[in-house]
Amino acid sequence: MKNKGVIVHTEAQTFSKRALAQAWLKRREAELEAARSSGQLAVAPLTVGEILQAYVEQSTGITEWGRSKKADIARLQTAGLAQKDARLLTAADLIEHAKRRRLNDGAGPATVLNDIVWLRQAFLMAATLLHIQQPLLAVDAAKVELMRSRVIAKAQKRKRRLATGEEERLIDYFSSRDRRSQIPMLDIMLFALLTARRQEEICRLRWEDVDEEKGTGWIDDVKHPTQKRGNRREFRILRPAMEIIMRQPRVAAEVFPYQSRSVGAAFTRACRFLDLPDLHFHDLRHEATSRLFEKGYSIQEVAQFTLHDSWSTLKIYTHLRPDAIPER
């Protein structure tokens, strides 16, 4: 709280147990309700950081967050915005935060948009549980201006496919490198190109979940916009991909028992060494999906490989080349 521009009172809370967070939420709700009924602000300020902490506690054990969201929320909790009194938060405060992230931190427009999205989710919780509307009003107004001024923007959809000769160069590189490496990157890359599997899914595939006779495999926790855990799905494995599986040594429960990050790092190093610009391991999923369509598989059939639930999401991974469309 400020008096003539000088901070005279601050308050912060952290919680080691969920029960403590619940008790704090009930207490703050009662305080804010009393203040609202009297037409005045509560005596003790409610900071943005406190709202974020309450949001974390409310989600623990109920909603499984991805690694990036956890990191984003943790960073927001230490940002200057976290110290601001949420009851007095303005759109200008959020716009200043976004511009500072762009100019000082070098964050891109899509990255800063994530900040705004996570803050809005936390402020929506505060509006519902604590009856404090100002942060939600502020973030909605700020988002409109930030989108208009292009400070924030949705991530551009990637359309990168393997150019002529790039696959052959990667094959030559990994064929030589794999003799000196524990990770069989050549087999992993070829498997990705045949199955459209993500690197995390490849490294989680277990021997017991491979059915050689049916030509299918099962993957747990398949990526989904709302279902983070328990999304177990069966996917098609063509004969060339099954042959790659069957030539792997059975040294662990997983077919490819390697760290997903290590696989990604090895692929990135190869692209850097071969001077293959802006090529990521995940682009192999785009390439594999497009190749399936080019071979004549239907939308419903391709979905049995990629495990997309709708065409609207599947088409994001589809980048057909005009010259690959056959005459009929």
Neighbours of 33 (CB within 10 A): 13
Burial of 268 (0-12, 13-18, 19+ CB in 10 A): middle
- Whether 11 shows a pLDDT value over 50: the answer reads no
CA angle, corner 252, sides to 247 and 255, nearest 5?
40
Average pLDDT estimate for 9-35: 60
Burial of 83 (0-12, 13-18, 19+ CB in 10 A): middle
Q: Is 18 assigned a catalytic role? A: no
Q: Is 317 assigned a catalytic role? A: yes
pLDDT, tens digit, 9 for 90 and up, residues 86-117: 988 999 999 999 999 999 999 899 999 999 99
Candidate list 158, 282, 315, 319, residue with the active-site label? 282
- The pLDDT value given to residue 1: 40
Candidate list 101, 102, 285, 291, residue with the active-site label? 285
- The pLDDT value given to residue 21: 65
Average pLDDT estimate for 159-179: 90
Which residues contact residue 269 at a Cβ distance below 8 angstroms, ignoring those fewer than 6 apart? none
Candidate list 87, 101, 102, 198, residue with the active-site label? 198
Q: Is 321 assigned a catalytic role? A: no
Quick one: fold of 2-148?
DNA polymerase; domain 1 (1.10.150)
Least confidently predicted of 121-135, 216-230, 285-299: 216-230
Which residues contact residue 62 at a Cβ distance below 8 angstroms, ignoring those fewer than 6 apart? none
Cβ pair 119, 139 in contact under 8 A = yes
- The pLDDT value given to residue 156: 76
Q: Is 258 assigned a catalytic role? A: no
Place of tokens 């930030």: 146
In whole angstroms, what is the distance from residue 16 CA to residue 42 CA? 25
Indicate the pLDDT class of residue 274, thresholds 50, 70 and 90.
Answer: very high
Average pLDDT estimate for 302-328: 74
Cβ pair 305, 317 in contact under 8 A = no
- Please check whether the two domains, 2-148 and 166-324, share a CATH topology: no
- Give the three-class secondary structure for 254: strand
- Which residue pairs from 273-278 have beta carbons closer than 8 angstroms and sit at least 24 positions apart in sequence? 273/173, 274/166, 274/169, 274/170, 274/173, 276/166, 276/169, 276/170, 278/160
Candidate list 224, 228, 229, 269, residue with the active-site label? 228
Could you give the angle at which helices 48-59 and 67-76 cross, rounded to 10 degrees? 150
- Whether 38 shows a pLDDT value over 80: the answer reads no
- Give the three-class secondary structure for 252: coil
Average pLDDT estimate for 263-292: 94
Q: Is 308 assigned a catalytic role? A: yes
- The pLDDT value given to residue 43: 44
pLDDT, tens digit, 9 for 90 and up, residues 39-81: 555 445 789 999 999 999 988 877 778 778 889 999 999 999 9
Q: Is 282 assigned a catalytic role? A: yes
- Length of the chain as a residue count: 328
Give the whole-number percent of the chain exceeding pLDDT 70: 81
**What CATH number does the domain located at 166-324 have?**
1.10.443.10
Q: What φ, ψ does residue 160 adopt, rounded to 5°?
A: -70, 125
pLDDT, tens digit, 9 for 90 and up, residues 195-224: 999 999 999 999 999 999 999 999 988 876
Indicate the pLDDT class of residue 177, thresholds 50, 70 and 90.
Answer: confident
Residue type, position 200, single letter: E
- The pLDDT value given to residue 325: 63
Query: What are the residue boundaries of the structural domains of the chain, listed by start?
Result: 2-148, 166-324
